Amino acid sequence: MPKPQEPRATGPERLPTPAPTGFRVERTTPLGRHPLLRVFPGLGALATARRQASSAADRAKLYGTTEVELVDEDLWMYVAPRTKLKSIRRRRFDPVVSPQANCIVVGESHLRTSEELVLFMDIFHELCHIQQRERGEELFDRPESYVRRPTELEAYRFVVAEARRLRVDDAFLREYLRVEWITDEEFAELLGAMGVPPA
């Protein structure tokens, strides 16, 4: 689950890779909480959504009841926990808490400026986490390192597979997977787990 950091850079050496046809982002969404499909209209109708939740009823529940909270913070996305997390507070991360509704918290600068493909991969990554939590899996207080958590590996595998369908190159995937809170050794391990060759 991505933690607060600066939005991923696109790099001056390459042009943005397009997101799938039909993926839309309402970049002018005001701060606050909104239905998921108001911020990402038509998300549940994408082929990726059908692969994520095969039944129409499951899709309607996942995409129709999840909310997005847009915050004025420099971060990417994360699933709001149900309660305050003592283990995360010491990292100077005070997450939005959503006791009832499934909510994905999104940083304003990420929504407004990040390239669409990154937002596409991030939102489906976080929706994977919501599915996991609905199955009773723990998202936050896990004993494994970030790159060995089954919840993270499942979510990354899903979005990397979707990116591969779009013929995204290895350089983009390495950039996407290079998050600042893991070591170089952990990054190499994550690349290996995702089948992405090192540079």
Tens digits of residue pLDDT in 182-197 = 899 999 999 999 999 9
pLDDT by residue (tens digit) across 156-183? 999 999 999 999 999 999 999 998 888 9
Distances (CA, A) of 139 to 50, 120, 129: 23, 21, 7
pLDDT by residue (tens digit) across 75-101? 899 999 988 876 654 456 778 899 899
pTM as predicted: 0.89
pLDDT level of residue 53 (50, 70, 90 thresholds)? very high
Distances (CA, A) of 140 to 1, 30, 106, 152: 9, 28, 17, 11
As given in the structure block, the two tokens for residue 48 are 């990726």
- Does residue 111 contact residue 74 with C-beta atoms inside 8 Å? no
- Does residue 152 contact residue 1 with C-beta atoms inside 8 Å? yes
Residue with tokens 């597979």: 161
- Does residue 74 contact residue 4 with C-beta atoms inside 8 Å? yes
- Give the percent of the chain with pLDDT over 70: 88
Distances (CA, A) of 92 to 5, 48, 99: 12, 34, 21
Mean pLDDT computed over every residue of the chain: 88
